[in-house]
Structure 1
Amino acid sequence: MEIEKHNWPEKYDINKLVTIQNDIDKIINETKTSVRRNDRYADPGDSLMLDGHKVVVEQVYPQKLGEITEENAQQEGYKSLEAYKNGITNIHGEDVWDPEQVVWVHELKVVG
């Protein structure tokens, strides 16, 4: 899915991108390398600190929930797409999984 960069929404505070300790642990252990959110929290090259580790945002792009693949789910730290869907709907409710819903993918790398 393409959205011209000049039409991207304003970004939120990057320090609010990842707030759940289990997700922070997965990122530090590099079993979670991407974060999908309804809003954009960073641009490529932005960084944040998670439990004393520097994490750099390598890529940011929009994606529809219906376009998420098994590989994408594994990048989110889940074993399968079904497990990822269950995780999202357990947190946010069944109605949140709309295949046309656009989310913002933030691909991360621990650098320090």
Structure 2
Amino acid sequence: MSQYPEKTCSIDRLIRHPKLIEAAKSGVKTQQRRDGVYAWPGEVFELDGTAFVVTDLQRERLGDMTDEHAKAEGYPNLESYRALILSMHPGMTWEPEHLVWVHSFKIKQDD
């Protein structure tokens, strides 16, 4: 995985909130943004008995997010995503130039 930096956290911490786990299991949530790298493409993780495979890992500016990206995160629109993120991290500001890692994933199909 030389094209990606070292992981900053364990893959099992990628998605933790029960509502987001359910959104992923239903196929609504297909992305997770984090400040660090939690998984590399091709890695498999499990949420409540459902296996997922990471399909992509990209660097993105917060200011480049759209409503479609927020929907892939499991939220109805960008404003609701932004409001929740800011409420979860007191003192944080939404900086459009801030870079995050976008982990894309899908439900793993049986081989």
Given the two structures, how large is their TM-score scaled by the length of structure 2? Answer: 0.89
Structure 2 portions without partners, runs of 5+: none
1:92 has 2:98 as partner: no
Matches within 5 A, 1:5-24: 6=3, 8-11=4-7, 12-24=9-21
How far 1:94 moved relative to its partner?
A: 5.2
Q: 2-side partners of 1:88 and 1:70: how far apart?
A: 15
Structure 1 portions without partners, runs of 5+: none
Deviations 1:36-60 (A, max 9, x none): 0111111111010110000000010
Q: 1-side partners of 2:51 and 2:87: how far apart?
A: 29
Deviations 1:13-64 (A, max 9, x none): 1111111111111100111110001111111110101100000000101111
Shift in CA distance, 96/39, structure 1 to aligned 2, threshold 3 Å: farther
Aligned pairs, how many?
107
- Between Structure 1 and Structure 2, the one with more helix by share is 1
The aligned residue for residue 30 of structure 2 is 33
Identity, in percent, stands at 37
Given the two structures, how large is their TM-score scaled by the length of structure 1? Answer: 0.88
Matches within 5 A, 1:1-112: 6=3, 8-11=4-7, 12-93=9-90, 95-112=92-109
Moved over 2 A (4+): 93-96
